[in-house]
Each structure stands twice: as C-alpha cells, then as structure tokens.
C-alpha cells in the first residue's frame, strides 16, 4: 500500500491479557516511531527504530511494553498483562529521515498510520 498500515484498527482486551499491535511502514522508510495518544491529549513518544535497531525506548511506560522491528520493515508493539491505563490509540509513523541529520527534517515529514484503538476492560 501507499501509506503506513496498522492492524488491528480496534482491539478490546481483558485486563491481564497480552496484545500485539502491528505496523507496516512505507516501503524504504528508515525511521519508525510508536506513539501513544490518550483521549484529548497529543501523541506521546514511546520508541524509535532506525532500520532494525531500536535506538530510543525512553518513552515506553513500563517493562510490560516491548517493541521490535527484526528485519527493518514491519514493527510490532507488544503489551503484556494489559491494564486499564493502557487504553489509548497507538500510532505508528515512518519517515525516510535517518537519525542524526536534523537539517533533513525541515523538508520531510513523518507519515502516520490510522492507529490501533486499544480498549482494556
């Protein structure tokens, strides 16, 4: 497809259940980001990949959150033992910008997927 694809679009999980959220970035995009967006808030940074390397995971809220991008394309965000506070929209974004070259950002953008709306009941 032409854009960033995320699946599933909606996920309802029982508290304590593990979930896996998938992101298919735009082909050839080096950088991949995961964000968490709570209702009425802006997206909050979770983690950043450059190809298969997870260079920044400072935004992951707890060790229940784990992300991977083993072949440098598709990424999976896994949440173990889900809690009600994990309910949010999880957004994936990709860009061809390579980290460490800030001047390139001025003429590029991060493309977002439509997100996965996770509801923990």
Partner 1 sequence: RKEVEQDPGPFNVPEGATVAFNCTYSNSASQSFFWYRQDCRKEPKLLMSVYSSGNEDGRFTAQLNRASQYISLLIRDSKLSDSATYLCVVNHYSYNTDKLIFGTGTRLQVFP
Q: Is 20 exposed, middle or buried (0-12, 13-18, 19+ CB in 10 A)?
A: middle
42 binds partner 1 (CB under 8 A): yes
Shortest approach of partner 1 to residue 109 CB, angstroms?
4
96 binds partner 1 (CB under 8 A): no
The DSSP string of 69-83 is: -TTSS-EEEEESS--
Residues 71-90 that bind partner 1 (CB under 8 A): none
Shortest approach of partner 1 to residue 53 CB, angstroms?
8
Residue of 81, 85, 105, 121 interacting with partner 1 (CB under 8 A): 105
| Bond into 8 cis (ω within 30) | yes
Shortest approach of partner 1 to residue 114 CB, angstroms?
5
50 binds partner 1 (CB under 8 A): yes
Q: Is 107 exposed, middle or buried (0-12, 13-18, 19+ CB in 10 A)?
A: exposed
Q: Are 65 and 82 in contact (CB under 8 A)?
A: no
Instruction: Kindly list the residues in this chain that would bind partner 1 in the complex (CB under 8 A).
Output: 31, 33, 35, 40-45, 48, 50, 55-56, 91, 93, 97, 99-100, 102-103, 105-107, 109-110, 112-115
């Amino acid at each position: 497809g032409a854009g960033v694809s995320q699946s599933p679009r909606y996920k309802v999980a029982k508290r304590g259940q593990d979930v896996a959220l998938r992101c298919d970035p735009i082909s050839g995009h080096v950088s991949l980001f995961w964000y968490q967006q709570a209702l009425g808030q802006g997206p909050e940074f979770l983690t950043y990949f450059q190809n298969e390397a997870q260079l920044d995971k400072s935004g992951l809220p707890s060790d229940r959150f784990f992300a991977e991008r083993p072949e440098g394309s598709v990424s999976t965000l896994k949440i173990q033992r889900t809690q009600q506070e994990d309910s949010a929209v999880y957004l994936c974004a990709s860009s061809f910008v390579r980290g460490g070259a800030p001047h390139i950002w001025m003429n590029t953008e991060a493309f977002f997927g439509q997100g996965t709306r996770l509801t923990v009941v």
